Amino acid sequence: MDSKDNGTEALNNVLLDLNASCDDILLSMITTSDGLTISSIGNTHEDKVSAMCSELLTVCSRSAKALKQGDVNEMLLRCSDTNMLLVPVGNLMVLALITKQEMNLGLLFIEAQRAKQAIIAYF
């Protein structure tokens, strides 16, 4: 197994741990900042979600910079059926989570930050 396989396995383990800690997660994924899926657990249109992550973060980042608000730490999109949380991981990756609408958001933010730190530790 080469180092790329070890990295992918490590990222898969981060997502597995995250999903185990939060039953209300429908999809968890790690994408590149330009919208390519690196690792994914769940079955909710991962290619479409990956591309949308890139677009949403681009818009949010531009808006934050234009308003002189600093960098985007996370983005929460609350919809009538689900929630979507995007967490940039450095400049190259994004942690994306889709959850049930009734998900405890405090728990979601805590676990997403824990997962982000675990991803950073691998890279």
Number of domains in the chain: 1
pLDDT digits (tens, 9 = 90+) for 63-119: 999 999 999 999 999 999 999 999 999 989 999 999 999 999 999 999 999 999 999
Q: Look at the chain and count its residues.
A: 123
Instruction: Look at residue 4 in the predicted model and tell me its pLDDT.
Output: 54
Contacts of 122 (CB under 8 A, 6+ apart): 7, 10, 11, 14
pTM beyond 0.85, yes or no: yes
Instruction: Look at residue 75 in the predicted model and tell me its pLDDT.
Output: 95
Q: Return the closest-CA partner of residue 89 out of 60, 112, 65.
A: 112
Question: Within 10 A of 56 (CB to CB), how many other CB atoms are there?
Answer: 17
pLDDT at 7 over 90: no
Instruction: Look at residue 118 in the predicted model and tell me its pLDDT.
Output: 95
Dihedral of the CA atoms 121, 8, 19, 64 (nearest 10)?
A: 60
Q: Tell me the CATH number at 81.
A: 3.30.450.30
Domain residues for the domain of 110 are: 3-122
pLDDT digits (tens, 9 = 90+) for 8-60: 899 999 999 999 999 999 999 999 999 999 999 987 677 889 999 889 999 99
Instruction: Look at residue 5 in the predicted model and tell me its pLDDT.
Output: 63
- Confidence band of 123 (pLDDT split at 50, 70, 90): confident
